[in-house]
Amino acid sequence: MTTSLFLVQLINGLQYGLLLFLIASGLTLVFGVMGILNLAHGSMYMVGAYLVWYFFEHTGSFGLSALISAVIALLVGVFMERTLIRQLYRRNHLDQVLLTIGMIFVFNALQSILWGNDPLGVAVPPSLSGAIPMTDVLEYPIYRIFVALLCVLIAGVMYFMINKTRLGMLIRAGESNREMVECLGIDIRKLYTIVFAIGVMLAAVAGVAAAPMSSIVPGMGEHILITCFVVVVIGGMGSIKGAFVAALLVGLVDTFASVMVPQLSSMMIYILMAFILLIKPQGLFSS
Amino acid sequence: MIKPNTLRTAVLAGLTSLALGQTAVANTQAPIKVGIMLPFSGVYGALGDATRNGMKMALQEKASELHGRKIEYIEIDTEARPERAPEISSSLLNNSKADFIVGPVHSGVAMGMMKVLRGKDTVMIVPNAGAGPVTGPLCAPNVFRTSFSSWQPSYPMGKVALDKGYKKVVTMSWNYGMGKESLDAFEESFTAGGGEILKKILVPFPKTEFQAYLSEIASIEPDAVFVFFAGGGAVKFIKDYDALGLSGKIPLLGSGFLTEGTLEAQGKAAEGVMTTLHYADSLDNEINNRFRASYKEQFGKASDIYAVQGYDTGLMIASAINRLGGDIEDQQALIKALEETRVNSPRGEFTFSAAHNPVQNIYLRTVENGENKVIEVAAPALADPARGCKL
């Protein structure tokens, strides 16, 4: 492998990893704070992609469509928490799995009814449609670099929010001792609603960002969900920092494995996961 | 005096003869049962819908030629899950006593169906799945295909590539049956004519992260790239190929499924992509034009190749029923009638090979203004070699 090809693959891996982080962060946030294992998280990624396609068809503006989609996802998140997820707090993980798997079917059926089963696509917004030449043949699309930077920005905002703001303090407090937070007069139910809605929105935003560089198809959520779980498990369930490191690891391993050990490439991230769990059974940064 | 036992026997006998009598009558007047095994949900849902619509449309159009026989449909969603195929097949065969079983879309499901239905008292007609063995080593008298073998659409592209002056090519597809068979077929004609395959890339199915592979292709700088992808994967592949700057620099060739039902989603990125297939929406013949208009009117959306394949399946069934005067009880006669069918398809007329696969034209197409434009017939009346078939 030449140096330039190595660099290109490095960028490929980082970019894929950052997108994985954006999807996985919501999953791990909700699990860490609320103890809820949301299997329907991948569905929200799918919903984000379909929403931005739908509004783009009607408004013609990607930015506006992205904003509307994010707001709708936030509202869907509030609705889901208030009506369904709320029933689960005092129940075991199996009940959570049953309900959230059921939600996957509901979202898939809705997608099929509302938007059909044909593969769909969204064009890259014109202001971000250029490319940077890398080698004689290869270019790197500006949009993909933009998405990578957006993911870094969101990671930064999340870090700041959790560590430096009052909301973040409550989130951290709720994580370690729910009863004590309630005793101090904090409405933990409101906090949970906010956290769950943010988690849903993060998945949807990832779907929105991925839409112009992928195909919008039924089942796209389930496929990404499995990879996200690998990220969350490697990083340590509930750890945002862990999810960030793990997402980059998974992105890089998957990219380099694809070209260096193609026969094993579909297994490599699972081998990585098994290896890390052998050394650190709770994941890299378990809380 | 009649003992209760005898009485019961007598009643039973009476009932049985009554039932038998009814069946005897039913054989010529009861509806012909067509079992449908297609995916109506999930990734292949749209393909299943189109196939079913096309088939029903054909049988509706030919209703007057069925000698009074009605058609009864038994539809089962396969969800494109191979592990469900044997169970559904045997239910349609044994419980529903289906005369025809039409399906599936997915090659894995086809293999599961073959396991149960080969040599049984029903006729299996495959309206899409291209798995080679169906009309190759596993071929059977009661199994037909109205679509294509995976070999057919890809084989002619090897010669096309050589004619264009491409000598060194990288091939790429998902690592599954249809993909590998397509690449092999291309390689067969391409290397026979002196071409060289620089690298063959097999991506784990259904992975759609193509960037790493495309970066590698860019560093190899082949004369052209030949791929097999379909559906959502095809959309993602074409978008990645264009976004990474490869389109316009390294010509992209493919089996026609690369640009079927996906052009709207692929947008400008698909312009100039060359593919070979047994059909194109833009084929300008009377039957195709009529078919497309009528499909659009009935179902409110544009027809596609899957609708055509379903339509041809319907035409084939109708034609056999017609020629047998509505009596399809004799399986030998039915199979013979099906074998001799000339299907007046929107893709152009086709017949069946000894292995029961279509002998059909393969067209060379290129994407122009969001449409597959036919350039020429890449291979006229091409028959699958049906290696390993003893029919």
The pLDDT confidence band at residue B193, using thresholds 50, 70 and 90, is very high
**What count of CB pairs under 8 Å joins A to B?**
125
pLDDT bin (cut points 50, 70, 90) of residue B5 is low
Q: What angle do CA B133, B136, B141 make, to 5 degrees?
A: 105
Whether residues A138 and B219 touch (CB distance < 8 A) is answered with yes
Residue matched to tokens 């391993």:
A253
In angstroms, the separation between the Cα of residue A109 and the nearest Cα of chain B is 9
Q: Is residue A171 very low, low, confident or very high in pLDDT (cuts 50, 70, 90)?
A: confident
* Residues within 8 A of A (CB atoms), B 186-205 only: 201-204
In a 3-state reduction of DSSP, which class is residue B89? Answer: helix
d(C-alpha B314, C-alpha B43), whole Å = 24
Q: What is the Cα–Cα distance from A163 to B146, expressed in whole angstroms? A: 63
| Average pLDDT of span A172-191 | 87
- Return the pLDDT at A287: 59
Interface of B with A in 248-307 (CB under 8 A): 249-250, 261-262, 264-268
Give the 3-state secondary structure of residue B204: coil
pLDDT of residue A84: 94
State the smallest CA–CA distance between residue B211 and chain A in angstroms: 7
Query: Which residues 301-360 on chain B approach chain A with CB closer than 8 angstroms?
Result: none
Q: Report the C-alpha gap between B187 and B176 in whole angstroms.
A: 16
Across all residues in chain B, what is the average pLDDT? 92
Using a pLDDT cut of 90, give the percent of chain B over it.
Answer: 85
- Grouping H, G, I as helix, E, B as strand and the rest as coil, residue B356 is coil
Pairwise CB contact (< 8 Å): A118 & B268? no
CB atoms within 10 A of CB A167: 14
Q: Which residue has 């003893």 as its token pair? A: B390
Does pLDDT of B323 surpass 60?
A: yes
Cα dist. A128→A140, A175, B349 in Å?
Answer: 12, 39, 48
- Tell me which chain A residue has its CA closest to the CA of residue B199: A259
SS3 per residue for chain A: CCHHHHHHHHHHHHHHHHHHHHHHHHHHHHHHHHCCCCCCHHHHHHHHHHHHHHHHHHHCCHHHHHHHHHHHHHHHHHHHHHHCHHHHCCCCHHHHHHHHHHHHHHHHHHHHHHHCCCCECCCCCHHHCCEEECCCCCEEEHHHHHHHHHHHHHHHHHHHHHHHCHHHHHHHHHHHCHHHHHHCCCCHHHHHHHHHHHHHHHHHHHHHHHHHHCCECCCHHHHHHHHHHHHHHHHCCCCHHHHHHHHHHHHHHHHHHHHHCHHHHHHHHHHHHHHHHHHCCCCCCCC
Neighbouring C-beta atoms of residue A280, cutoff 10 Å: 14
Residue among B209, B212, B232 whose CB faces A119 most closely: B232
> What was the pLDDT predicted at B27?
52
Residues A285 and A242 sit within 8 Å (Cβ to Cβ): yes
**In the predicted model, what is the mean pLDDT of residues B322-334?**
95
Q: Tell me the chain B residues in contact with residue A135 when contact means C-beta distances shorter than 8 Å.
A: 218-219
Alpha-carbon distance of B269 to A122, in angstroms, equals 11
User: Model's pTM, two decimal places?
Assistant: 0.88
* Residues of A with Cβ-Cβ distance to B266 under 8 angstroms: 121
Q: How far apart are CA B210 and CA A145, in angstroms?
A: 16
For the domain B31-148+282-356, what is the CATH code? 3.40.50.2300
Residue B146's pLDDT band (boundaries 50, 70, 90)?
A: very high
| Side chain identity, residue A34 | M
Q: How confident is the model at residue B8 (pLDDT cuts 50, 70, 90)?
A: low
Cβ within 8 Å of B, A 89-128: 108, 112, 116-121, 123-124
- Report how far residue A131's alpha carbon sits from residue B248's, in angstroms, rounded to the nearest whole number: 14
Closest chain B residue to the Cα of A108, Cα to Cα: B42
Q: Is the CB of A256 less than 8 angstroms away from the CB of B268?
A: no
3-state secondary structure of B131: coil
- Residue B312's identity, in one-letter code, is D
Cβ–Cβ < 8 Å for A137, B245 = yes
Do domains B31-148+282-356 and B151-277 share one topology? The answer is yes
CB contact under 8 A, A213 and B41: no
Q: CA A250, CA A244: separation in Å to the nearest integer? A: 10
**Does the domain made of B151-277 have the CATH classification 2.70.98.40?**
no
Q: Which residues 8-27 of A are in CB contact (within 8 Å) with B?
A: 8-9, 12-13, 15-16
The alpha carbon of residue B364 is apart from the nearest alpha carbon of chain A, in Å, by 24
Contact A77, A238 (CB under 8 A): no
Are the C-beta atoms of residues B14 and B22 closer than 8 Å to each other? no
Answer whether residue B7 shows pLDDT above 80.
no
Quick one: what percent of chain B has pLDDT higher than 70?
Answer: 93
- Name every chain A residue with its beta carbon within 8 A of the beta carbon of B370: none
Of B388, B361, B357, nearest to B377 by C-alpha is B361
Tell which wins on pLDDT, B107 or B18: B107
Least confident of A136-140, A270-274, B4-8: B4-8
CB pair distance less than 8 Å for B235 and A215: yes
Look at residue B20 in the predicted model and tell me its pLDDT.
Answer: 47
Tens-place pLDDT, residues B127-139: 999 999 999 999 9
Interface of A with B in 127-166 (CB under 8 A): 131, 133, 135-141, 143-144
Q: What are the two backbone dihedrals, phi and then psi, of residue B203, each rounded to the nearest 5 degrees? A: -95, 135
Q: How far apart are CA B281 and CA B220, in angstroms?
A: 35
Query: Is residue B270 exposed (0-12), middle (13-18) or buried (19+ Cβ within 10 Å)?
Result: buried
Of A118, A213, A218, the CB nearest to B239: A213
pLDDT cut 90: percent of chain A above it: 77
pLDDT of B202 higher than 50: yes
Asked if this assembly's ipTM is beyond 0.85, the reply is yes
Q: Which residues on chain A are in Cβ contact (under 8 Å) with B49? A: 117
Give B74-91 pLDDT, tens digit per residue: 999 998 899 999 999 999
* Residues of B in Cβ contact (< 8 Å) with A2: 219
> Structural domain boundaries of chain B?
31-148+282-356, 151-277
A112 contact residues in B (CB cutoff 8 A): 41, 45
Average of per-residue pLDDT across B339-365 = 97
Is there a contact between A6 and A207 (Cβ–Cβ < 8 Å)?
no
Q: What is the pLDDT of residues B148-159, one digit of tens each?
A: 999 999 999 999
- pLDDT value for A178: 83
Best of B211, B217, B264 to substitute, by most chain A Cβ atoms within 10 angstroms, is: B211
Residue B104 — very low, low, confident or very high, per pLDDT cuts 50/70/90?
A: very high
- Separation of alpha carbons B128 and B309, rounded Å: 7
Q: What is the pLDDT of residues A214-271, one digit of tens each?
A: 999 988 999 899 999 999 999 999 899 999 999 999 999 999 999 999 888 889 999 9
- For residue B164, which of B245, B223, B222 has the smallest C-alpha distance? B223
Which has the higher per-residue pLDDT, B15 or B239? Answer: B239
pLDDT value of position B2: 44
pLDDT digits (tens, 9 = 90+) for A56-68: 999 999 999 999 9
Amino acid (1-letter code) at residue A75: L
The length of chain B is 391
- Which residue would you say has higher pLDDT here, B129 or A118? B129
Per residue in A77-110, pLDDT (tens digit) is: 999 999 999 999 888 889 999 999 999 999 999 9
Tell me the C-alpha distance between B13 and B364, whole Å.
65
Structural domains in chain A, CATH included, are 3-279 (1.10.3470)
Which of the two residues, B207 and B334, has the higher pLDDT score? B334
E strands present in B19-138: 32-38, 71-77, 100-102, 123-126
For residue B206, what pLDDT is reported?
Answer: 82
Residue B21: predicted pLDDT: 44
CA distance B140 to chain A (A): 33
Residue A217, min C-alpha distance to chain B (Å): 6
Q: What is the pLDDT of residue A85?
A: 94
Question: pLDDT tens, B20-52?
Answer: 444 444 455 789 999 999 999 877 888 999 999
Sign of the torsion formed by the C-alpha atoms of B103, B109, B110 and B112: negative
B245 → closest Cβ in A131, A215, A266: A131
Cross-chain CB nearest to B45 (options A2, A117, A214): A117
- Is-contact A80 A196, C-beta < 8 A? yes
More confident residue, B232 or B272: B272
Cα separation, B74 vs B144, in Å, equals 19
- pLDDT class of B1 with cuts at 50, 70, 90: very low
pLDDT of A135 reads: 83
Q: A251: nearest CA in chain B? A: B209
Which residues of A are less than 8 Å from B207 in CB distance? 266
Amino acid, single-letter form, for residue A192: Y
